[in-house]
Amino acid sequence: MGVASKPLLICCTCASCPYKKFRPLPKRCDFREARGVPGKENKQQGECRVCFLFRFQRCKPTYSSTTMDAPVLPMPAPLCLVTNKDGVLALNPAALAVLQEVAQPMVVVAIAGPYRTGKSFLMNRLAQKRTGFPLGPTVQAETKGIWMWCLQHPRQQGVTLVLLDTEGLGDPKKGDSHNDAWIFTLALLLSSTLVYNSIGTIDQKALENLELVTQLSELIRVRDRDKDGNNSVEREDEAEDCEFVRYFPSFVWVVRDFTLELRVGERPISEDEYLEQVLELKHGHGRKVQNYNGTRLCLRNYFPTRKCFVLPPPLGTEECGRMEELPEAALAPRFLQQAAQFCNYVLSSTRLKTLPDGRALTGRALCMLLQSYVEAINSGHLPCLEGAAAVMMANENAAAVAAALEAYTRGMRGLSLPTEPAQLSAAHGEHLHEALIVFQRRSFRDRDQEHQRRLMEQISTEYSHLQEENDEASRQHCKALLAELAQALHTSLARGAYTQPGGYRAYEAERQRLLEGYRQAEGKGPKAEEVLNEFLAERRAEAEAVLKADNALSEAEKQLEDQKQQAQLLEQRQKATAERERQLEALLEDERNSYAQNLQALEAKMKAEAESAQRELQRAMEAKLREQRELLQRGFREQAALMEQELAALRRESNNNSKQELAAYIFDTVRAACDLISTLKLSKLAKSRGTAV
């Protein structure tokens, strides 16, 4: 791609933007030379706040689909990922294009909270930038929808840091709290750490502002109830509440402009203790108690991993609106210290964004999940976590098959044909191994091994095609070689040199020189003996004519020479047959090796997935156990008993992932793989025997 002569306009709300053309980011552009300038509000010029102008100095070609660890291309500024207008959510294709190119594992940090509370400032600190997410000087909400910034993680090599800044909750200009709920829900589902930012203290009003967490069970479904066949909605809700913890991120509450002393009586307390004190439950069963405990109980159940930071005011009230313009020296030292501690915790403690079984997501996978969630929301349905994950995994597994096949084909097509069968077989084994690595790294929970079997079938088909091409290339090469070596023989025949007495001896001597030259030639490929057999058979009549015309030989000598020719033809036919049999045996050996490689990769993949799933289950159980112990210590036996039911469900699932289950799983998979390999072997054996001479 050449140099872009004009800046490209990126606008996420094209309908309202005065710039009429929407042009998404070109794939694989080199952001290092880009400069993003956010549009500033200017009613006279009609510029748009959500537009960015980028000038690309050069563009790079698209990386191969097998490049799994390519570093993230630095974004000069955030892009709007999800727009929120008139109660309808929409995805920005330009931002999706950037996110889809993230092939590394990701740490996703989202921030939510009331509008005009400084969320964007914290995200810029995490990005280690002075500017980026827009900060505004007025009470007008600055961020609309969800904005995204993809950066190389500053502390983890090979990991991309994705920052999501959400529009403020409770903006009076929106007038739709339901809209807040969906933005909050998307931020929660996309992130591996959710930061909630509020001002003042964590009091009852602050908790009421976070009442959205009590609606999560009404906004999200773990699985499709219609497919489960479970008639008990209440039982289903309880089961899903138990599973939310495996899908939800860790939770960090940041309290801004905090001016109180962290004390209980005379005892100093930590920020985390302050949060836990606020989240303490009340005893009782009345409506007031239920209302009091509602948000607290949801926070405890859904986010067993919780952290709190309190930040003092950064500077005077009049200067808060222009923090972006002020040097760091102008900010309160205590504020900077606490902000640094917050950033240190988030950057060092946030886990990779994963599925519940612990499999890390890439940008492409996260895009598919986001598209499923937004499509469900806009169609009036609830996002189904397992359903969205199933769609994503099916698409990613299909893409993994394509990427692995591409890796195999690219490697094999680099061979120069014809080549010897042993070299072709060695290349097949090498590139099959590469293809399986590509597939295993990109695929997701290929439970019935459907996609891996499909990959092996396609590789087997491609290998068969290559063998056929190699056979044909060998045939053509050998024919051309024999034609070249036989030129002297043809010239002598045309001159009648072999029709004189003693001509047969001269003919036979020239033919032996031809055969010697043919056998000494290298790079003939797998059809060397077969083509030579055909050549000698075609020349049989010619040799008989020369022999018959040679009057210098007696009849007995002619009969002896004829027997030698027949013996030579028989020997060559046997060599051709032996050549085919060796190639057939080599083909079966290739299939055995392919099967062994496939089985080895399959076992390694299944073991890794089982261990990862077990770790995630263990993490969820440990979090629930901590919460249960705390409830028991504080006398909430009823809530602790309910949590015991959740723990029992997690233990049952853990038992289902035991070694016995894994062994049975491997046995079923191996049996299916054996059936496939047997079918391939029989098919190729029948084909080879059908063409035997």
pLDDT at 476 over 70: yes
Asked if 270 contacts 212 with a C-beta cutoff of 8 angstroms, the reply is no
| Domain shared by 94 and 177, yes or no | yes
Least confident of 144-148, 149-153, 238-242: 238-242
For residues 639-660, average pLDDT: 69
Q: Would residue 343 count as lying in a domain?
A: yes
φ, ψ for residue 379 (rounded to 5)?
-90, 5
Give backbone dihedrals phi and psi of 70, rounded to 5 degrees, phi first.
-60, 135
Q: Which of 372, 402, 431 is the last residue of a domain?
A: 372
State whether the Cα torsion 409-412-416-422 is positive or negative. negative
Q: Are residues 51 and 89 in the same domain?
A: no
| Structural domain includes residue 139 | yes
User: Is the per-residue pLDDT at 57 higher than 90?
Assistant: no
> Does residue 588 sit within a domain?
no
Do 10 and 159 reside in the same domain of the chain? no
Residue 278: predicted pLDDT: 92
Vertex 61 angle, CA 58 and 65, to 5°: 145
More confident residue, 590 or 157: 157
Examine the domain organization and report whether 112 and 42 are in the same domain: no
Can you list the pairs that 675-678 forms with residues at least 24 positions away whose Cβ atoms lie under 8 Å?
A: 676/453, 676/456, 676/457, 677/591, 677/594, 677/595
Q: Decide which of 123 and 22 is more confident.
A: 123
Same domain for 179 and 57, yes or no, is no
CB 277 within 8 A of CB 220: no
pLDDT per position as a tens digit, 609-640: 677 677 777 777 777 777 777 777 777 777 77
Quote the CA–CA distance of 44 and 674 in Å, as a whole number.
Answer: 73
Angle 611-154-148 from CA coordinates, rounded to 5°: 85
Listing DSSP states for 362-376 in one string gives -HHHHHHHHHHHHHH
What pLDDT score was predicted for residue 629? 78
Q: In this prediction, what percent of the chain has a pLDDT beyond 70? A: 72
Task: Write down the mean pLDDT value for the chain.
Answer: 77
Residues 76 and 56 in one domain: no
pLDDT of res. 86: 77
**Mean of the pLDDT values across residues 105-125?**
89
| Short-list 335, 195, 312, CA closest to 261 | 312
- Domain count of the chain? 3
Q: Is residue 629 one of the residues assigned to a domain?
A: no
CA 33 to CA 74: how far, in whole Å? 10
Read out DSSP for 249-262? -EEEEEEES--S--
Q: Is the pLDDT of residue 654 over 60?
A: yes
The top-scoring range by mean pLDDT among 134-138, 147-151, 293-297 is 147-151
CA–CA gap between residue 8 and residue 2 (Å, rounded): 14
What pLDDT sits at residue 243? 77
Least confident interval from 357-371, 444-458, 489-503, 654-668: 654-668
Looking at the structure, tell me whether residues 184 and 269 fall in a common domain.
yes
503-520 vs 450-485: helix crossing angle, rounded to 10: 150
Q: Which domain holds residue 264?
A: 70-372
Q: Is the pLDDT of residue 693 over 50?
A: no
User: Do 55 and 81 have their domain in common?
Assistant: no
List Cβ<8 Å contacts ≥24 apart for 663-671: 665/606, 666/602, 666/603, 666/606, 669/449, 669/602, 669/606, 670/599
Same domain membership, residue 132 and residue 95: yes
Q: What pLDDT does residue 188 have? A: 94
Q: How many residues does the chain have?
A: 693
Helix (H) or strand (E) holding 112: strand 106-112
Query: Is 446 part of any domain?
Result: no
State whether residue 561 is helix, strand or coil.
Answer: helix
414 within a domain of the structure (yes/no): no
Q: Computed from CA positions of residues 291, 292, 293, 299, in that sequence, does the dihedral angle turn out positive or negative? A: positive
Average pLDDT, integer, range 308-336: 76
Whether 197 and 259 map to the same domain: the answer is yes
**pLDDT for res 231:** 46
Confidence band, pLDDT 50/70/90 cuts, at residue 91: very high
Task: Calculate the CA 335 to chain-centre distance.
Answer: 39
Q: What backbone phi and psi angles, to 5 degrees, belong to 280?
A: -65, 140
Residue 28 and residue 165 share a domain:
no
pLDDT tens-digit map of 373-423:
999 999 988 899 989 998 999 999 999 999 999 999 999 998 999 998 888
Does 152 have pLDDT greater than 90?
yes
Q: Which pLDDT band, with edges at 50, 70 and 90, does 245 fall under? A: confident
Q: What is the pTM of this model?
A: 0.71
Give the angle 183-184-189 at the CA atoms, nearest 5°.
100
CB 456 within 8 A of CB 594: yes
Bigger pLDDT: 170 vs 252: 252
Mean of the pLDDT values across residues 239-251? 80
Same domain, 182 and 298: yes
Q: Is residue 662 part of a domain?
A: no
- Assess whether pLDDT exceeds 80 at residue 201: yes
Is 467 part of a structural domain of the chain? no
3-state secondary structure of 90: strand
CATH number at residue 496: 1.20.1000.10
Question: What is the pLDDT averaged over residues 39-68?
Answer: 38
What does the DSSP assignment read for 134-197?
Answer: ---SSSS----SEEEEEEE-SSSTT-EEEEEEEPPBT-TTT--HHHHHHHHHHHHHH-SEEEEE
Boundary of a domain, candidates 40, 62, 84:
62
**Which of 233-237, 283-287, 670-674 shows the lowest per-residue confidence on average (mean pLDDT)?**
233-237
What CA–CA distance (Å, rounded) separates 442 from 637? 45
Q: Among the three residues 321, 343, 372, which one is the final residue of a domain in this structure?
A: 372
Q: What is the C-alpha end-to-end distance of the chain, expressed in Å?
A: 54
Return the residue matching tokens 């990613």.
396
More confident residue, 558 or 535: 535
Q: With contact defined as beta carbons under 8 Å apart, do 120 and 133 qualify?
A: yes
- Give the domain CATH number at 138: 3.40.50.300
Please compute the mean of the pLDDT values over residues 176-204 and round it to a whole number.
89
Is 467's pLDDT higher than 80? yes
CA 37, CA 14: separation in Å to the nearest integer? 17
pLDDT category at 366 given cuts 50, 70, 90 is very high
Q: Which of 33-47, 163-177, 363-377, 489-503 has the lowest mean pLDDT?
A: 33-47
